[in-house]
Amino acid sequence: MMIEDFTLEELKPKQYSVKTAVTLISPGTETAFLMALPKTPGKFPMYPGYSNTGEIADAGRDASKHKVGERVVSRKNHASHVVADEDGLVRIPDGLSFEEASFFALGSIALQGIRKARVELGESVIVLGQGLVGNLALQLARLSGGMPVIAVDTYDFRLEISRKCGADFVFNPTKGDLKESVDDVTGGKGADVVVEASGNPRAIATALELAGRRARVIILGSPRGTSEVDFYSTVHRKAVSVIGAHETARPLYESSHGWWTERDDTSLVLKLIERGLLRIKDLITARMSFMKAEEAYRQLIESKDKTLGIILDWRNS
């Protein structure tokens, strides 16, 4: 991994340049791409990142939606400066720090998955995998009326954070019978909604096993490999619906005001964070200078038992 100089591209008429404040590393996607896991491009060099926050430094001709000095988020990479189209920027609410706002992209990804689950008030929801996206999905399922919301992960460190963020129950499958634990808290019915957010292909079979009759299973994490599933017992007989929730599958359905878009979800996530309805600060494990990016990625790969969210600070670049 290297940090290299680059020349910022010339602004087109409706573009802005943004001086980066902080960026958030997406642990699952970025480390998977870095390690060239299955279902990733496997091509290098690559320039990772899609959770950029900063301040508008300059505006192109005819750019009118934002102002120089405005604080914004964008799906741009880890870099000291970025160029974005005006429709690719969303203003950060005044009450939010750059660090809190940097969770906009992962929050939006989690939100579109929960929208697809169509959680109803009082439905039980299990989220497998309590990385950043899984934790945010759990919180959003709770806000949507899920009850109980159940966090599952093999790392107790993550489960303790999930408990702080509102999980009704937390289960570590390495420390007991997961199916039995879920049956205990769902009255033996299994879950109404299971969100698979780990990206582990083996977890899909677990998700289907934990699902109750007529449940919805949401594949939110990107499985990096193939899965072996007993469709007769876990899908066919129980009439389970399996819903793919890759973010590129937007939009799914029409709301009263139109189709839900990435921009809608980004704006909503920022508002939820601003109002304290999405807990973010507990998800931040470390803040590092961008010069220590290599160390940050190493921690995310090698120390999953004690690392969750790492923010890279670019303000001294």
pLDDT digit string (tens) for 224-257?
Answer: 889 999 999 999 999 999 999 998 887 656 666 6
CATH classification of 107-249 is 3.40.50.720, yes or no?
A: yes
Comma-separated ranges of CATH 3.90.180.10 domains in the chain: 15-103+280-313
Q: Which pLDDT does position 236 carry in this prediction?
A: 97
Which residues, given as ranges, of the chain have pLDDT below 70? Answer: 251-257
- SS3 of the chain: helix, strand, coil, percent, to 5: 35, 25, 45
Residue with tokens 């990772």: 48
Say which residues have a Cβ less than 8 Å from residue 42's Cβ, sequence separation at least 6. Answer: 36
Q: Which two tokens stand for residue 242?
A: 């399996």
**Own/partner pairs for 294-301, CB < 8 Å, 24+ apart?**
294/1, 296/25, 297/1, 297/25, 297/30, 297/31, 297/34, 300/25, 300/27, 300/30, 300/31, 301/31, 301/34, 301/35
What is the pLDDT at residue 260?
Answer: 85
| Residues whose CB falls within 8 Å of the CB of residue 153, separated by 6 or more in sequence, listed in order | 128, 129, 130, 134, 159, 162, 170, 172, 198
Residue 127 has what pLDDT?
Answer: 98
pLDDT at residue 302 in the model: 96
Identify residue 255 by its one-letter amino acid code: S
Question: Within the chain, which residue ranges are assigned CATH 3.40.50.720?
Answer: 107-249
CATH number of 15-103+280-313: 3.90.180.10
User: How far is the C-alpha of 306 from the C-alpha of 317, rounded, in Å?
Assistant: 28
**In the structure encoding, which two tokens stand for residue 108, read together?**
């939006």
**Residue where the block lists tokens 């309805």:** 277
CA distance 192 to 61: 52
- Rounded to two decimals, the pTM is 0.95
